[in-house]
Structure 1
Amino acid sequence: MNEKKKRILEESMKLFSRKGFHATSIQEIVEQSEVSKGAFYLYFSSKDELNIEIIKYYSELVFGKLEKIQQQDMENRKKLQAQIQVLIDIISEHKEYVMMYPRELVHVGKDIDQLIQDSNKKSFEWMKASLLQLYGAKIEPYIIDGSILLEGLLHGYTKAIVFHNIQIDTTALSEFIVDRLDDMIQNMLHNHVEPQVKWSQLSYPRVKEETNTSINVQDQILLVKKQIEQTNIEEQQKEQLREVVEVIEQEWRKERTNMVIVRGMLAELAQIESLKKATNQLKISMGV
């Protein structure tokens, strides 16, 4: 991103958090950013467009860093801890954004509303994938409750950091949050408690339909098994593929799924042309 544009975005967030969106003029923004009005209008046609770009900038910053960690080869628990630490660090560095929203969302239009919905959906998808990677298929009935618990922990601590200006060891805090989440999840699993929020209760049909499609790992595994039997290959190769699927299924059911093994097995399946589509869908279902 152009450095001038980035500076305008960041300085605008500071002004909006202090004065409010409506009370901040474009003249104040250009003075604070140390750019000309011409430079401002080179990047933004209006203050409303600037507001949209702030949300895009912050969202891309957050999810870009989360995705970068997701691609790393590390144990799933450590991966979630690293992602949470990055989230906390970003929020600590961009307190102005947190203070700016949702206070300034009273004036939102359709474009901003859609951006926020998309961001919330991405956040949910990240939490869902993280829980599936950590706990396997047994967490499926508790995906929504688990996501709410994780979001609550994150929101509570980041709110304290932002509004009380708390200085904290983010490495220790990220480990603490994952440990407390694990305490709650393990308790639900051990005691077979009734989920408090179910898929049928979601008020966003689009999210509900897409999530239900992606979450049913066991159905996808069964589909792969069925297609193996229908594939025109030698029986010895079929037996090898059955063993591959068995490894995936067993690994997925473990308390700590080894995603390195799962990815390797999925790569084996994807080498068979007739299994590629079902294998790709299985990868999506597993959050790989």
Structure 2
Amino acid sequence: MNNRKRQVILACAKLFAEKGFISTSIQDILDESHISKGTFYNYFSSKQDCLIAILDIGSEEAAIRKQEFLIGKDLDDKKVLASQISTIMQVNRERNLLPIFESILHSGDKELKKTVQQYHIREMEWLSGRMIDVYGEKIRPYRYDATILLFGMINQHLHIGSLTHAPESECPSPVDASHYALRQLDSIIPSLIKNKDSYLGPSLERYIYANKDHIIPSQSDIIDQLKGFRKNLEPTTPDDCIEFTDCLIEEFSSPNPRYYIISTVAFKFYDTFRKSNHASEAIAIANGVWQITRARKDEAEALK
């Protein structure tokens, strides 16, 4: 992503948060980002395309940070999960997505609402998978109910906490609220399993299956992305950046990629590029790599 396109996305995010998506005009975007109409339409076909780009960047950034917490840690570590959950909320706040969500949900526009719902669907689906990591296969039939309960407890504690604590600095933190909710879930999950108790879980599972729109990239897709990325690196690119890029290309080009190595290298790859002009592309590639490694892990578990 070039700097001009990034400038347009940042301008749109600012305007959508301040004025609301519906009230922001294309001319507002042109004035804020100091570009011509032709330049805007060279990058985006509409305001909605720009909104999707904003949400995708937020989602990819959250995915990277969630993966970072897992480096050197066990999947069933509840402290890691609490930190990962809080990261979603932190990214939403840092990128000022909350007022954008609010303006869209009150807009009455069904297509826009669907766009935001896709963002939330991805997070619900991710957390349902982490329920299995933390609580084991026995929770699988009830993972969506557990997901609903956990998100519900966290959001309500943060909401009520913001009402009952006057100084914002004293409000419950997302990490503390996540830890507290997980401790309560420890007592609830045995009851779900023992009583075979499902409520909204099956409905949520069907809804996610019917409405999710993200596709796990193929091995060849990742290779093509990496090779294109590598080709566009400047001669001044640091050696470690090039080495991690080449390592990923080599592993994915192998008939039997070593996914346990790839997952770690992908983080190093992202980390070396995170403050460069290639940060957005590196985030997208690393996120695609982790989608593949997660899918391969799930396939391996299913065959056991």
- In 2, the alpha carbon distance for the partners of 1:168 and 1:34 equals 40
CA distance change for structure 1 residues 165 and 193 in 2, over 3 Å: closer, same or farther?
A: farther
Q: Which amino acid is 1:179 matched to?
A: Y
- In 1, the alpha carbon distance for the partners of 2:85 and 2:205 equals 27
**What displacement does 1:28 show?**
1.8
5+ long unaligned stretches in structure 2? 213-259, 261-295
- In 2, the alpha carbon distance for the partners of 1:73 and 1:142 equals 28
1:195 aligns to 2:197 (yes or no): yes
* Matching residue of 1:177: 178
CA distance change for structure 1 residues 175 and 199 in 2, over 3 Å: closer, same or farther?
A: closer
Q: Please tell me whether the aligned partners of residues 86 and 178 of structure 2 are also in contact (alpha carbons under 8 angstroms).
A: no
* Matching residue of 1:226: none
Q: Which amino acid is 1:79 matched to?
A: V
- In 2, the alpha carbon distance for the partners of 1:58 and 1:125 equals 16
* Matching residue of 1:40: 40
Q: Which amino acid is 2:14 matched to?
A: K
Q: Percent same amino acid at aligned positions?
A: 24
5+ long unaligned stretches in structure 1? 211-262, 264-277
- In 1, the alpha carbon distance for the partners of 2:191 and 2:110 equals 45
Matched position secondary structure for 2:168: coil
- In 2, the alpha carbon distance for the partners of 1:203 and 1:161 equals 30
Matched position secondary structure for 2:56: helix
**What displacement does 1:133 show?**
1.5
CA distance change for structure 1 residues 179 and 205 in 2, over 3 Å: closer, same or farther?
A: closer
Q: Deviations over 1:169-217 (max 9, x none)?
A: 88x6414412322223324416845524265444736628x9xxxxxxx
**What displacement does 1:90 show?**
1.0
Q: Please tell me whether the aligned partners of residues 92 and 161 of structure 1 are also in contact (alpha carbons under 8 angstroms).
A: no
* Matching residue of 1:94: 95
* Matching residue of 2:13: 13
* Matching residue of 2:79: 78
* Matching residue of 1:283: 301
Matched position secondary structure for 2:45: coil
Q: How does 1:97-176 map to 2 (within 5 A)?
A: 97-105=97-105, 106=107, 108=109, 115-156=115-156, 166-167=168-169, 173-176=174-177
**What displacement does 1:24 show?**
1.6
CA distance change for structure 1 residues 42 and 151 in 2, over 3 Å: closer, same or farther?
A: same
- In 2, the alpha carbon distance for the partners of 1:125 and 1:203 equals 9
CA distance change for structure 1 residues 161 and 16 in 2, over 3 Å: closer, same or farther?
A: farther
Matched position secondary structure for 1:73: coil
Report how many aligned residue pairs link the two structures.
217
Q: Please tell me whether the aligned partners of residues 98 and 162 of structure 1 are also in contact (alpha carbons under 8 angstroms).
A: no
Kindly name which structure, 1 or 2, has the bigger radius of gyration based on alpha carbons: 1
Matched position secondary structure for 2:28: helix
